[in-house]
Amino acid sequence: MLLPRSNLIFTFGFLLLFLSLSSAEQKPQFAVDGKVLELDESNFDAAISTFDYIFVDFYAPWCGHCKRLSPELDKAAVNLAVLKQPVVIAKVDADKYSHLASKYEIDGFPTLKIFMHGVPTDYYGPRKADLLVRFLKKFVAPDVAVLNSDSAISEFIEEAGKNFPIFIGFGLNESAISHLAVKYKKKAWFSVAQDFSDKTMEFYDFDKVPALVALHLNYNEQSIFYGPFGEKFLEDYIKQSLLPLALPINQDSLKLLKDDNRKIVLTIVEDESDERSKGLVKLLKAAASANHDLVFAFVGFKQWQDFAESFEVSKKTKLPKMIVWDGNEEYFSVIGSDSVEDEDQGSQIMRFLQGYREGSVIQKSITSDSYKAFRNSMYGIGAVILILIVVLVVTIMQSLKEEPSRDQVDYPRSSTSPSEAKEALRPGDKEDKID
């Protein structure tokens, strides 16, 4: 017996409703509430598809580094959840859920990945909560923000904060800086302003367009570039503007110098915080404005004695002292301009630079043990281990030549074992291996 047409429609509709309700009950529900999600093989794919940006910690319960990272992730999750483009933090016990570990090629703990629209990217950035938030905030931002009003410009600058330099292209097309914005995305914020008032021009102190304004809010610095806007000229300006005019040297700021090939005019003062030093820094900034081919930096003997001592500075040395450093193991003293007297310091800085450019210098090498400390802080311990690996490989190759029998080759004594060497070849910082 056939059911009436109306009954068939009712039955079919009821069935669809039942299936949709059943599906809704079975689909995992996630909330952006500032808590770290615990994922497993039953809900991992659903979480990845639910959120545009999800940061995943693949960990093992026995891993000491994972245990230290966990509270940092808890703190970061709260701040990342309230961003305009929220980032969710999740963790997976990859030791227990081996299928997921195998799928995402997890071979060390912790392994960190950020999934952007479902696509995983390895994360090798900082792990402290505040630095993690800063980094991920930049990571998920648009390459170039397009600003269409004065209020949009103000909101962009406020949201960007003070931790990275900010570039605003007034009257520039997005395409003019998009390639460089991608290249330097992890180091700066980029935007173009299409509509703005005369009041904004006055506030940012430019009088014509196009103009690219660089802001270093952390150092209360601003510069303006009026072109030419060919890629080479534009990139040169951006690279030079990634650093403030006078960079205070500490263990964090040293890392900013790693990718800059310019020589560093380093001024060593007694105490960065005293008024005489602050006055000298203002003069260094003025010199930096006229010498873009050099980086200007300063460090206080009181603030970082070990670093200062690497340049033949002691408690008996007359400070301030200026040298030119290559950022590695070599530096130059300028003959007759070893120290800076209190009077007419601006002229003394000019004479120092003139002497350096004329080649009136004495080349020296850093030999102190303290150099190892700041070298590691610049390049990371991974780079040092990589050097050891190269030495190890060369030694092994020489041994193979001397002793053809493969079974007889012994690894030389080294602080890096073969298993550690294999791990160090990875660009990340995963300290615990899977057994």
Active site residues: 63, 66
CA distances to 253, 314, 342, 428 from 279, rounded to whole Å, are: 21, 23, 10, 42
Ramachandran assignment for 376, one of left (phi > 0), alpha (psi -120 to 50 degrees), beta (any other):
alpha
* Pairwise CA distance, residues 115 & 64, whole Å: 25
Q: What is the DSSP string of 320-379?
A: SEEEEE-SSSEEEEETT-SB--SSSHHHHHHHHHHHHHTT-EEEEE---THHHHHHHHHH
Show the tokens assigned to 47. Answer: 């979480």
The helix, strand and coil proportions of the chain, stated in percent and rounded to the nearest 5, come to 45, 20, 35
DSSP state of 311: T
Please answer whether residues 121 and 59 qualify as being in contact, where contact means their C-beta atoms are separated by less than 8 angstroms: no
Query: Of 374, 158, 402, 427, nearest to 252 (Cα)?
Result: 374
Cβ-proximal residues to 411 (8 Å cutoff; 6+ apart), any chain: 392, 396, 417, 418
> Angle at which helices 275-289 and 345-357 pack, to 10 degrees?
50
Contact 332, 323 (CB under 8 A): yes
